[in-house]
Structure 1
Amino acid sequence: MSRRRFTIRRPRGVAEYGAAALVAAAAVSLVVRLLVWVGEVLVRWWPVVAVLALLGIAVGAWRAAAAAREHTARAQRLSVLRFTLAEIDAMDDRQFEFALRDLLIRDGWSARQVGQQGDQAADVIAGHPTYGRIVVQAKHTKVAAKVGSQVMYQVKGTAGPVHRANSAVVVTNGSFTRDAREWGDRHTIGWADRERLRSWAELGVPLHQILQLPTLARRRLPGTRQPFPAPYERTAPEGRTNGVR
């Protein structure tokens, strides 16, 4: 059934022209009254209007400045290190772990690669004075492959009790099952799929911004002399240059 289209036709006859003229006059009168009312409000409350206008200008300027700073910071990060998804797909598992470590360092974290047999669901451990300690589990896989909930369970079970982390994330160049994403969101285990990884590695958005990690006061980890992992040697797997551009 076709929809009937409504169109406005020109008036016909004296009566219709008269009615149209009355409608137009009423509309003009309403607009004039509205303008008069606005003018009276502006005259009576001009200090308040001026303050609100200045606040609006200030907020707009602050947002523009913040956007400019973020653009500059992102460009600086990308000038230090940038990986494309094609480069990441061509890596092996160990190279992927080192790439994630270096991306965290680029973003201001103190990070080290720890992945090996028996790593208890931690491939990279990093610390930040604002965001605390994070455990990263790397899952380098085929593009079409999906990471399931089992990985989330493992990371949840070791991130805090074993690695004393404030947060944890699973990063893959593939994707996650819906159950894995939903379980991670419910139990505060971050996830970075192919699209989020592209934002991080290729577009320069920091991981902590992508995951919206909560900030915390710098504190000393139990049983350590330092609040975060110690500095490390910038070493890379054989045949790699850490992707530094």
Structure 2
Amino acid sequence: MAQRWSLFRRPRGQAEWLAAALVAVAAVVLAVRMVTAVGETLLRGWPVVAVVAAAAAGIVVRRALRTAAQRRRAARRVAALRITLAQFDAMDDEEFEYALRDLLIRDGWSARKVGQGGDQAADVIGQHPHHGRIVVQAKHTRVGGKVGSSVMYQVNGTAGPVHGADHAVVVTNGAFTHNAKQWGERHHVRWVDRDQLLRWAEHGTALQELLRLSARSRRTPRRRMVA
């Protein structure tokens, strides 16, 4: 059977033991020198590391402060939002819807514009922590234009069943017919005409104060229809 050779074997004789000891000592010395060199490099370079870390932290802090400042400026702009009747009259339908959305946001509602083809009588939908959900139908008209009862019928038929609204409101820069106002009041479809729009948008009265919306309206939201 062939003899198996090992790469390492025990030293034989005094000379081999002495050589092995010298190699071991050299390895230990080399390892100590390497560790010392790494430590010295770190000690010499720690100011650079500290500067880099401080710079990175400074960038993060500056960005956070800038973001917070931008949010505060945006909040102040929203809180100070005022829109005149002349500005409303100069808008197109879509601009009018966005303006009403912004006014709701100013008044503490989480609002979004949803008006488009097939919107089912909802142009803006808002949510308030105390007043629930509101559906706004925007009717931008020429000066002196009037909104009739048919709009009230449409909003009443979809605000609760389709959109789950606690409040349904029709807003115009014009006026409402007498029948539209009466029908809306009977069926809890609120309306904001030109005079009320002036108080809301230009004078800064919050919509919930203008319409005297209680915490969750008397209007009981009906169950949404399943498509």
| Superposition deviation, residue 80 in structure 1 | 2.3
CA distance, structure 2, for counterparts of residue 89 and residue 134 of structure 1: 24
Partner of 1:80: 80
Partner of 1:134: 134
| Counterpart code for 2:181 | R
| Superposition deviation, residue 210 in structure 1 | 1.1
Partner of 1:184: 184
CA distance, structure 1, for counterparts of residue 184 and residue 169 of structure 2: 9
Partner of 1:104: 104
Identical columns (%): 65
CA distance, structure 2, for counterparts of residue 158 and residue 205 of structure 1: 27
Partner of 1:58: none
CA distance, structure 1, for counterparts of residue 115 and residue 78 of structure 2: 25
Partner of 2:174: 174
| Superposition deviation, residue 131 in structure 1 | 0.5
| Counterpart code for 2:163 | H
CA contact (8 A) 1:113 1:124 kept: yes
Partner of 1:163: 163
> How many corresponding residue pairs?
145
Render the CA deviation track for 1:200-229: whole Å, top value 9, x for unaligned. Answer: 000000111111112139xxxx89xxxxxx
| Counterpart code for 1:127 | Q
Partner of 1:36: none
TM-score w.r.t. the length of structure 2 is 0.61
Structure 1: runs of 5 or more not aligned = 1-75, 224-245
Structure 2: runs of 5 or more not aligned = 1-75, 218-222
Render the CA deviation track for 1:89-136: whole Å, top value 9, x for unaligned. Answer: 000000000000000000000000000000000000000011000000
TM-score w.r.t. the length of structure 1 is 0.57
Indicate the SS of the match to 2:103: helix
After TM superposition, the structure 1 = structure 2 runs for residues 220-235 of structure 1, keeping only pairs within 5 Å, are none
| Counterpart code for 1:170 | V
Partner of 2:198: 198
CA distance, structure 2, for counterparts of residue 185 and residue 212 of structure 1: 13
Indicate the SS of the match to 1:164: coil
Indicate the SS of the match to 2:170: strand
Indicate the SS of the match to 2:88: helix
CA contact (8 A) 2:166 2:216 kept: no
Partner of 1:145: 145
Aligned-CA RMSD value:
2.0
| Counterpart code for 1:197 | L
| Superposition deviation, residue 153 in structure 1 | 0.1
Render the CA deviation track for 1:175-207: whole Å, top value 9, x for unaligned. Answer: 000000000001000000000000000000011
Q: Which has the higher contact order (CA 8 A, sep 6+)?
A: 1
CA distance, structure 2, for counterparts of residue 91 and residue 167 of structure 1: 25
CA distance, structure 2, for counterparts of residue 216 and residue 153 of structure 1: 22
